Structure 1
Amino acid sequence: MGKVAIVTDSGADLPESFQPKQGLHIVPLSVHIDNVDYKDGIDLTREEFRRRLPTAQKIHTAQPSPGDFVKAYQETDYADKVLCLTLSSRLSGTYQSAVMASDMVDNDVVVFDTLSASVGMGLMVMRAVEMANAGATRHEILRQLQQIRDTMRIALLVDTLEYLERNGRIGKAASMLGTVLKIKPVLQIVDGTVAPLDRTRGKTKALQRIVRYFGEEANNNAVTASIAHLEGLDVAAELKAGLAETGVPISQLTISEIGPTIGVHTGPGVAGVAFYPTID
């Protein structure tokens, strides 16, 4: 039974408290801000991103190149096998780059499409690293990741529709309508794509809708969960309190700040939760 190294990308939004000493390699996506290219987490910190976001005229992301993944794979020579977890292939071309790179190296690489993003993806990465460091085989890790992927639920509120409109996720008319009516869209990730869950009037009702979704989907089963936010610590705290009031047993709860890769598309003030039934 050999060592398994985990590779992922910057779309995972891992909590700062998660600092494995070995076994995790993160490939950054590129963030283009006003015609300047940055690497998420390399030369663009979350703090700098928060500062630049409100005034940026042009901002978008680009997937890593196959060469970026080749470099990461080649840094795993201490391991016998590599498992790479990527952003949903239905949201980004990152998965395709990772697969192409796996054919360009001698390392034994398997690429896993999380069909998720942000903290949903992050929960899978953390579980994979935990299992790898505990000596699990790649087959065992993959089997559990598939189970988590099938049962993962994600719901989030977006404070403003501006960034979704700017990045082509909705039309300009819908963005203007949402601003005028103070509509807060509640979104979910279904089969690897972003889909509407509900439309509410105001942030309080949006949070209540997420909490209700959490309670309904968890159905009193113990869950492992992670809350995400971008410049919304107060909203994250309110959401955490709401989840506790459902009475759903939460085996583990982390809180993560959304980084540039995902934050470009959501904008500030976003908050949400990802969760799956805890696996014994």
Structure 2
Amino acid sequence: MSDTGTGRAPATRRPVTIVCDSSVPITRAEAASLGCVVVSMHYLVDGVRHAERYEGENEEYDALFRNAKILSTEAVFQSAFHDEFRRVLDRGSDVLCITMSSRLSGTYRSAVDARKQLLGEGVAVERIVVVDSWTTSGGLDFMVRRARRLVTGGATLGEATAELERTRALQGIAFTVPRLDVLRRSGRLGAMRRAVAGKLDRYLIMVLDKGGIRDTDVAHGMGATVRALVRQVPEGARKGLLVVSSYGDSAAADALVDCVHRMLPKATVEKRDGGPVVSLHLGVGSVSLAWDVPEGAK
């Protein structure tokens, strides 16, 4: 027992439950081991609403997409976060909510609004924190795992939050898409890249920069594309874990895993399913490569 200087024992620290949206590519068992509750985003196929679930539980969604006429997605609603936060609080835990980038989805805003609602209902301000991850898919997986390590290592909720916000710009994710229709309609492509995108067998290499999409290169052919993705990994992350996310059935994902093994033989590679919601944002057949905070980064 430590001495607090008050003559009394320190207050017992409450446990922390991580709450995350379903763009994180983890299984139900992994979520349980991480003390992480996953809140579903939704996607609509010809007007039928589907909940995105844990990795491995979304069936063959890409085949469903191919036969559909109208496709759309929904961010997590404020009410869903409110109810999940309330359940966690009622069990005696504090809430550390980590969402996909606010520049990609309205999910972060929903979580912030749910927190405000609960504060208005009398919940203490220090019991719920919402963090914008600036990432998604494999990058979000890294953040959830870092959060659990921090909390297990003794960090307070405030300390864990500060460290997550400090390191989120140091980890990274690069990706490419087979077709740029979705990104073109969103207005996220610059004029030069829009012109390049129309050329046969050209692939745009993009990264998330503080949560927003930034293009970094153009590659010709699949071989050059996966090599360009691997080159995005900084030197200090080339011996650690890398996460390849496949968005639906993607031959590029297998090619990217093979390329990582060849170019970065000291790295460990995990292949994950990126899930239906991000697949609809990027397009089935897209692929991403995520890395954790590089060794030695400050």
TM-score under structure 2 normalisation?
0.80
Equivalent residue number for residue 117 of structure 1: 136
Counterpart residue number, 2:206? 187
Task: Give the corresponding residue for 1:148.
Answer: 167
For the residue of structure 2 that corresponds to 1:47, the secondary structure is: coil
Alignment-mate amino acid for residue 69 of structure 1: F
Any residues of structure 2 matched to 1:125-274 within 5 Å, and which?
Answer: 125-133=144-152, 136-165=155-184, 169=188, 178=197, 181-214=200-233, 217-219=234-236, 222-232=239-249, 234-247=251-264, 249-250=266-267, 253-274=269-290
2:111 aligned partner, one-letter code: A
Q: Is residue 148–residue 276 contact of structure 1 (8 Å, CA) maintained in 2?
A: no
For 2:52, which of 36, 40, 58 is the aligned residue?
40
Q: Distance in 1 between matches of 2:272 and 2:237?
A: 24
RCO comparison, higher one (Cα < 8 Å, 6+): 1
Query: What corresponds to 2:8 in structure 1?
Result: none
Aligned pair in 2 of structure 1 residues 148, 245: CA closer, same or farther (>3 Å)?
farther
CA distance in 2, matches of 1:274, 1:88: 14
SS in 2 for 1:240: helix
Is 1:62–2:74 an aligned residue pair?
A: yes
Distance 2:73 2:103 in 1: 15
- CA distance in structure 2 between the partners assigned to 1:220 and 1:32 by the alignment: 37
Distance 1:22 1:206, change over 3 A: closer
Question: Which of 105, 111, 136 pairs up with 1:92?
Answer: 105
Q: Give the secondary structure class of the aligned counterpart of 2:135.
A: coil
Counterpart residue number, 2:94:
81
Aligned length: 275
- Cα pair distance change 1:271/1:187, threshold 3 Å: same
> In 2, are the aligned partners of 1:5 and 1:132 still within 8 Å (CA)?
no
Taking structure 1 as reference, are residues 93 and 265 closer, same or farther at Cα in structure 2, changes over 3 Å only?
A: same
Report which stretch shifted further, 217-226 or 141-150: 217-226
Deviations 1:42-66 (A, max 9, x none): 8x95324222111222212122221
CA contact (8 A) 2:205 2:225 kept: yes
Structure 1 residues 220 and 163: alpha-carbon distance in aligned structure 2, compared to 1, 3 A threshold: closer
* Structure 2 Cα separation of the partners of residues 92 and 239 of structure 1: 26
Tell me the distance in 2 between the aligned counterparts of 1:112 and 1:245.
Answer: 36
Is the alpha carbon distance of 1:120 and 1:227 closer, same or farther for their aligned partners in structure 2, counting shifts above 3 Å? same
**CA separation in 1, counterparts of 2:252 and 2:67?**
23
One-letter code aligned to 1:138: L
Q: Which amino acid aligns with 2:148?
A: V
Report the 3-state secondary structure (helix = DSSP H, G, I; strand = E; otherwise coil) of the residue aligned with 2:291: strand
Deviation at 1:109, TM superposition (A): 0.5
| Residues in 2 aligned to 1:103 and 1:235: alpha-carbon distance in whole angstroms | 42
Residue 220 of structure 1: CA displacement? 6.6
Q: Distance in 1 between matches of 2:218 and 2:29?
A: 33
Matched, 1:4 2:21: no
Q: How far is 1:82 from its partner?
A: 0.8
Alignment gaps of 5+ in structure 2: 1-12
SS in 2 for 1:181: coil
Take 2:40 and 2:74, find their aligned partners in 1: how far apart are those partners?
A: 10
Distance 1:221 1:181 in 2: 31
Q: 5+ residue gaps in structure 1?
A: none
* Deviation readout 1:50-94 (Å, 9 max, x if unpaired): 221112222121222211101110221334311000111112111
CA contact (8 A) 2:248 2:276 kept: no
